[in-house]
Amino acid sequence: MTDEKMPLEPPPAYDENQKPASPAPPRPRMPLPLDLPALNMIRGKRVILASASPRRRQLLAQIGLTNLEIIPSTAPEDRDKNLPPFAYVLETAEQKARNVYEATINDKEGEPALVIAADTVVSSHFGQILEKPKNEREHFATLKMLRDQNNGWHKVYTAVVCMAPLESLMDPGYAMETHVEETLVKFDEDVTDDLIMSYVRTREGADKAGGYGIQGLGSILVEKINGTFDNVVGLPLRATLQLIEKVITEPGVPNEVENAL
Task: Give CA–CA dist 154/212, Å, rounded.
Answer: 13
What are 226's strand-pairing partners? 184
Say which residues have a Cβ less than 8 Å from residue 135's Cβ, sequence separation at least 6.
none
List, for residues 202-218, the tens digit of each pLDDT value.
999 999 989 999 999 99
Q: Are 130 and 211 in contact (CB under 8 A)?
A: yes
Please report which confidence band the pLDDT of residue 170 belongs to, taking 50, 70 and 90 as the band edges.
Answer: low
Arithmetic mean of pLDDT, 241-254: 84
Distance of alpha carbon 40 from alpha carbon 248, whole angstroms = 10
pLDDT at 14 over 80: no
Q: What is the CATH number of domain 36-260?
A: 3.90.950.10
Domain boundaries, the chain: 36-260
Query: 27 vs 31, 58, 59, 64, 66, CA distance in Å?
Result: 12, 21, 22, 20, 21
**Residue 49 CA: distances (Å) to CA of 3, 160, 213, 221:** 58, 11, 20, 30
The confidence band for 18, taking pLDDT boundaries of 50, 70 and 90, is: low
Per-residue pLDDT at 135: 95
Instruction: From the candidates 15, 80, 107, 119, give the one annotated as an active-site residue.
Output: 119
pTM: 0.82
For residue 48, what are the β-bridge partners? 69, 115
Q: Give the Å distances, CA to CA, from 78 to 39, 61, 93, 241.
A: 33, 30, 12, 28
Q: What is the largest CA-CA distance in the chain?
A: 77
pLDDT digits (tens, 9 = 90+) for 25-40: 677 676 788 899 999 9
Q: What is the pLDDT of residues 48-67, one digit of tens each?
A: 999 999 999 999 999 999 99
Residue 7 pLDDT grade (very low, low, confident, very high; cuts 50, 70, 90): low
Active-site residue, 119 included? yes
